Amino acid sequence: MLFMVEMDVAIPLDFDADEAAALKAREKAYSQDLQASGVWRHIWRKAGLYSNVSIFDVADNAALHDTLMALPLYPFMTMKVTPLCRHPSSIRDDDS
């Protein structure tokens, strides 16, 4: 199942800088592992914002939930999740 997930990150300005850097490093590794495995299909920066729009390919709603809850930056994120399905006008043979 495909989902578009929009993530807005807001780390408090007074949050410890070293701790924030460590969380961002863990987040990057977690994200890149999921990208390599095909679960995190796409990630795009929203220009000018500490936000991204991502496409996840997971088995079901519960798998998406578990994946998102495990994001190291999750406590500092606001998310919007949108389920996706194929568009009838798509010229692609599959959802790649």
- Interacting residues with ligand MUC (CB under 6 A): 7, 9, 27-28, 31, 52, 73
29 vs 86, which CB is nearer to ligand MUC? 29
Instruction: Tell me the closest approach of the beta carbon of residue 92 to ligand MUC, in angstroms.
Output: 25
Closest residue to ligand MUC, judged by C-beta, is 52
* Residues forming a β-bridge with 77: 9
Minimum CB distance to ligand MUC, residue 66 (Å)? 16
Q: In terms of CB distance, is 19 or 86 closer to ligand MUC?
A: 19
52, 7 contact by CB (below 8 A): yes
How far apart, in whole angstroms, are the C-alpha atoms of residue 2 and residue 87? 12
**Shorter beta-carbon distance to ligand MUC: residue 29 or 84:** 29
Q: Judged by CB, which is closer to ligand MUC: 63, or 72?
A: 72
Strands (DSSP E) found in 1-96:
2-9, 40-45, 51-57, 77-84
C-alpha span between 38 and 36 (Å, rounded) = 6
